[in-house]
Amino acid sequence: MAKVSAPSIIVVLLRRPRPPKKYPKEKRSDPFWEFGSFGITGCHGSNLMHPKNSEHLTGKRLAFVQGGDDGFKLVYLTPPVKMTPYADRSEARWTRAGMPFTYGASPLVVSADGESDIPTLLDMISGVNRNGWEGRFASKFRTRKDPLPEEAAEQLLSVYEAARRRARSRKSMLAKTYNQALPCDPAVVDTNREVTYRRLLEIVSGS
């Protein structure tokens, strides 16, 4: 039997919410998990989600990794995405939209002391010239556009799918609201995300 090719997965590093006292208006709306959308706020618009990368991203799967006090966590892996380029950004869309893991229940990508549920990713960053495991990971993946190597992609997919299977009987593992996938609430929690998403869509599409 022919071997099934490894999924083409690109890691997307999501920054953690900034201190509310210094940034009292920050919402941190993107990704719009409920609508299967990422990039419409302009997040990563100068690198990964730049319109010139739309063709490169089409058909890839995006692995969203969220940083926080307990390390970098794998909160969601999309199905293959379709890309829509706009003037200054692009939007990734995917079907079967669902909610991510809560930050606390997400598989561990890397902790400060070098622990990981996906050790092949540790191998990728072991030689990065930065202090600390989290610093090495951020330096490696902050602006990375290339898919993971085959072994790392297969291991990430296996770990993610096993966690999603566990979540079928442990519903508390899945976020009910977008901010539960964050390590802490942003200063402003968006309680009407559909309105926010539709407004941003109108802005970028010029309609």
Asked if pLDDT for residue 45 goes beyond 50, the answer is yes
Mean pLDDT, to the nearest integer, of 174-197?
Answer: 94
Q: How far is CA 70 from the centre of its chain?
A: 16
> What pLDDT was estimated at residue 92?
96
Among residues 137, 141, 118, 142, the alpha carbon closest in space to that of 127 is found at: 137
Asked if pLDDT for residue 6 goes beyond 80, the answer is no
pLDDT band at 2 (very low <50, low <70, confident <90, very high): very low
> What pLDDT was estimated at residue 173?
97
Q: Taking a C-beta distance cutoff of 8 angstroms, is the pair 29, 36 a contact?
A: no
What are the sequence ranges of the domains in the chain? 9-161+179-205
Residue located via tokens 């622990």: 115
Q: pLDDT tens across 80-115, in order?
A: 999 999 999 999 999 977 899 999 999 999 999 999
| Structure tokens belonging to residue 192 | 């009407």
Q: Backbone phi, then psi, for 92, in 5-degree steps?
A: -95, 130
Full DSSP string of the chain: -PPPPPP-EEEEEEPPPPPTTT-TT-----SBGGGTEESTT-TTTTTTTSGGGHHHHTT-EEEEEE--TT-EEEEEE-SS-EEEE-SS-EEEE-SS----B-TTTSPEEE-TTS--S-HHHHHHHTT-SSSSHHHHHHHHHSS--SPPPHHHHHHHHHHHHHHHHHHTT-GGGB-SSGGGGSSS--SS--S-HHHHHHHHHHHHHT-
| Structure tokens belonging to residue 152 | 């790392």
- How far is Cα 60 from Cα 48, in angstroms, rounded to an integer? 12
Among residues 56, 83, 17, the alpha carbon closest in space to that of 144 is found at: 56
Asked if pLDDT for residue 169 goes beyond 70, the answer is yes
Q: Taking a C-beta distance cutoff of 8 angstroms, is the pair 71, 36 a contact?
A: no
| Structure tokens belonging to residue 155 | 């291991």
